[in-house]
Amino acid sequence: MVLNESKFDEVNVLASGANWAWPEALRCIFQPRGVNLLVAESAGEFVNIIKRRRIQATIVDMDSGAGGLATIKIIRMDYPRLPCILLSNEPGEAVLRAALGLDVFSVIDKPVNMGILREQLHRLFIKKYNRDNFAE
């Protein structure tokens, strides 16, 4: 079986879906950097996409219908090293402690400042993959 080398060069980030302009806002950051955005609406969808595609990072919304921490717990069962960024309306002490216990890379307050998100993605990609996709 011959593997398509471009599959290994693909950069894919999987994010929680939303009923507002969130995916479009992410695409504005990702497309110019050659990063593909995949969107999942549930924890099961997150896992199914991760099984089928090479995912470099996830962005999980704590306040999504699927439940952010529960989604990350499910991801961690089979993919313990996959970097996750958690978005939260109220990142209080309990959320931060739970995120730390799940080895979440970063917790970002909502509404999301896209500059902060880009900076965190830059840190994540440099640290984990030695790639500067999100550099200024």
In the numeric block, the tokens 């969130």 are attached to 22
Q: Where are the alpha helices (DSSP H) in 62-113?
A: 68-78, 93-101
Which sequence spans correspond to the domains of the chain?
5-129
| 20-35 tens-digit pLDDT | 788 888 999 999 999 9
The answer to pTM > 0.85 is yes
Query: Does position 6 have pLDDT exceeding 80, yes or no?
Result: no
Which two tokens mark 26? 């992410």
pLDDT at 4: 39
User: In sequence order, which residues have a C-beta less than 8 Å from that of residue 80 and are 6 or more positions away?
Assistant: 103
Cα angle, residue 121 at apex, residues 12 and 85 outer, rounded to 5°: 85
Residue pair 95/82 in contact (Cβ under 8 Å)? The answer is no
Best CATH choice for the domain 5-129 from the list 1.10.10.10, 3.30.565.10, 3.40.50.2300, 3.40.50.720: 3.40.50.2300
pLDDT at 65: 65
pLDDT at 66: 64
DSSP SS3 for 113: coil
Query: Does position 134 have pLDDT exceeding 80, yes or no?
Result: yes
Q: d(Cα 53, Cα 80) in Å, to the nearest integer?
A: 16
| 81-131 tens-digit pLDDT | 999 999 999 888 999 999 999 999 999 999 999 999 999 999 999 999 999
Query: Does position 8 have pLDDT exceeding 60, yes or no?
Result: no
Q: d(Cα 71, Cα 125) in Å, to the nearest integer?
A: 22
pLDDT at 122: 96
pLDDT at 64: 72
Q: How many angstroms separate the Cα of 73 from the Cα of each of 20, 40, 81?
A: 25, 15, 12
Residue pair 127/88 in contact (Cβ under 8 Å)? The answer is no
| 41-90 tens-digit pLDDT | 888 999 999 999 999 999 999 887 668 899 999 999 999 999 999 999 98
